[in-house]
Structure 1
Amino acid sequence: MALSLPEFLIICGSIFLVGFLFLEVVNWGKVISSLGSHDDLQVTVVEDTEEEDDHGSLSGKESESFESPVNIVPRQAVVIEVSEPFKWNGYKIPPVAMTMFCREDTVIIQPFWIHDIAPTISGGPLTHRHHLLYISLHWGVSDQSGSEHSIDQINYPLEMQLAHVKQVNARENIEEHSDDADATIVSYLFQIKENDNELLNPIIMNVCRLQESTSKVYIPPFQLDSVFPLFPRKFYSYTDKLNPPVGKIVMRLIYPEPLSVSSSQMTELRKISTGSSRPKRSFGPEDLYYHE
């Protein structure tokens, strides 16, 4: 029996749709499998190769060394004109899944993308691309303290940090770039405003689900660039050591314009933990830079 052209097109379209759905089921199976394997957060350095990627990781002890609170004094910063704007790639692509968990006094958000295609940052003071690993939130016991960084001795109740690691091509001579940053942490400070910051709701509304410091929950994915601005210039930077014996270098970038958070939203965070505050160190001459 001969088929008419509309019937033929319908059959072809149905076959294509079934094949597309099958591929999606396979991809989601890989995502779910990868989620189940992330019991412990690891900082992974990805090396691009033509065949198969090699993955190395920093230990948990080294990850803790990322935190080194400092007081930023703007008048002491060495002003640098940005020759290449700081670039954000892939941050407008929503992740397919997200987990949230506590590590001591910190909430960590782990996003996942299909095929592990994570967002990257490049340009500015960075020689290589750095890809996103996780987002962490730091706060204190009151609305007058809690941020890892202060500006002119002004403390903020909340700081959001985006942790990235360097992507290195296996064919490159690593020793030639030994002074490059192995990791980058971008920090956003939050100041108290009367009204809730609705852009933080995807985070705040799920914090209450963390009943214990060791619990982990899956949260609805949200688009990252809706929570914080993607700035090309006008930011502070300085370098920090993970562990002196290891010699790992982390580049810290601080966005100087505080974002908003309400006291009620901070109250929700403190239901998990009261947070912590540590003494902040100061910079030596020419240690702090401002990229305009």
Structure 2
Amino acid sequence: MQQLTLVLLASFWAFCTGSGDWCYQSQFTCDHPCNTPEKWGHVFKDCAGEQQSPINIVTRKALKDERLTPFLFNNYQQMFRALVRNNGHSVQVEVPHLSTVAGGGLSTTYKAVQFHLHWGNNGGPGSEHTIDGEQYPMELHIVHMKQRYTDLKTALSDPEGVAVLGFFYERSSSVNKKYDTIVKSLKNVIATNGNTTLLPTSLAQLIPPQQNLTSYYRYKGSLTTPGCTEAVIWTLFENPIPLNNEQLRAFSDLKFHNGKPMVGNFRPVQPLNGRQVFRSGGVVILSGPALLAATLAVALGLSQPN
């Protein structure tokens, strides 16, 4: 019975295939055929490259890299008003080029350009990257480009022109008030090309506190949407952002351009192809009694005979 189902499903896809724009598996229909992720590489050459994103991170295989020090966030607390837009594939917010990141093993300073999200179906699995096979409900991408560039297209011609900071979300029993402005704006961008002005917000309020951002993974990859340009330095932070069920479900109210619910807007994980994933030292900032205890432990350790 299972084999028959697979044969019928294969026949269905063969019958329904046709030319069209790129899309996610969840928005494909026979009435509106489009190129699902497994076909992106046929239409967009780079999508079949050797350094594609997202990936599954196997934590035990990630190598510790002492160069992956804490990031230096500049102007991340800066409040701004910006346009929120349903671009037909996600919800995207263009940000003023004021906020920058440096350190964290990056070769230079990068400035924030925009952020967008990827999610599942009503709070179900939906992150693009996975950790040891676990898929989180949602993933935030804050896209940066090298400070010297004025537009993303130019930055993407540099093999390390773009740096994306990725954050996972976890389901929480309580509301995350810091996300009120984002979640409330969604009802005004239900349809593709719908846009609205975001009430004053900052990048800092969307992500965990800076002291909780010392544990992260790093690898070289690509954009996760066509054209899949391999010019991205990826950073994925371990500490997730809490949202409650209602907040997570609000994203599933958006619509793709064909009117279908915007759910499952994530690309499946791609082969690692020999790439190495690195992890930071995860420096913990101690204070008070914890610092005193750690100092004593080190002192006692040093006093032990060899």
TM range (shorter): 0.5 to 0.7
1:122-161 mapped onto 2 (5 Å cutoff) = 122-161=102-141
User: Which structure 2 segments of 5+ residues have no match?
Assistant: 1-43, 150-156, 255-261, 282-306
2:136 match: secondary structure? coil
Root-mean-square deviation (CA), in Å? 3.2
Q: 1:276 aligns with which of 265, 268, 282?
A: 265
For the 8 Å contact 1:182–1:248, the answer to whether it is kept is: no
Q: Kindly indicate whether residue 192 of structure 2 is the aligned counterpart of residue 213 of structure 1.
A: yes
Note closer, same or farther for the CA distance 1:223–1:145 as it changes in structure 2 (3 Å cut). Answer: same
> 1:82: how far off?
3.3
How many residues are aligned here? Answer: 220
For the 8 Å contact 1:164–1:184, the answer to whether it is kept is: yes
1:19-58 mapped onto 2 (5 Å cutoff) = none
Q: Distance in 1 between matches of 2:191 and 2:220?
A: 34
Runs of 4+ residues deviating >6 angstroms = 61-67
1:1-292 mapped onto 2 (5 Å cutoff) = 68-82=53-67, 84-95=69-80, 97-112=81-96, 118-168=98-148, 181-229=160-208, 230=210, 233-241=214-222, 249-272=231-254, 273-285=262-274, 287-292=276-281
Kindly provide the CA deviation profile for residues 180-199 of structure 1, in whole angstroms up to 9, marking residues without a partner as x. Answer: 62100001100111222221
Note closer, same or farther for the CA distance 1:261–1:268 as it changes in structure 2 (3 Å cut). Answer: same
For the 8 Å contact 1:141–1:276, the answer to whether it is kept is: no
For the 8 Å contact 2:79–2:202, the answer to whether it is kept is: yes
Q: What is aligned with 2:15?
A: none
- Higher strand proportion, which one? 1
TM-score w.r.t. the length of structure 2 is 0.64
Q: Distance in 1 between matches of 2:249 and 2:239?
A: 23
For the 8 Å contact 1:87–1:232, the answer to whether it is kept is: no
Q: Distance in 2 between matches of 1:235 and 1:277?
A: 21
For the 8 Å contact 1:196–1:262, the answer to whether it is kept is: yes
Note closer, same or farther for the CA distance 1:156–1:67 as it changes in structure 2 (3 Å cut). Answer: farther
1:208 match: secondary structure? helix
Kindly provide the CA deviation profile for residues 207-256 of structure 1, in whole angstroms up to 9, marking residues without a partner as x. Answer: 1111311111112121221221235532101011459x997521000001
> 1:290: how far off?
0.1
1:220 match: secondary structure? strand
Q: Distance in 1 between matches of 2:136 and 2:72?
A: 26
% same residue: 22
User: Which structure 1 segments of 5+ residues have no match?
Assistant: 1-60, 170-177
Note closer, same or farther for the CA distance 1:209–1:246 as it changes in structure 2 (3 Å cut). Answer: closer
1:168 match: secondary structure? coil
Q: Distance in 2 between matches of 1:62 and 1:255?
A: 29
1:264 match: secondary structure? helix
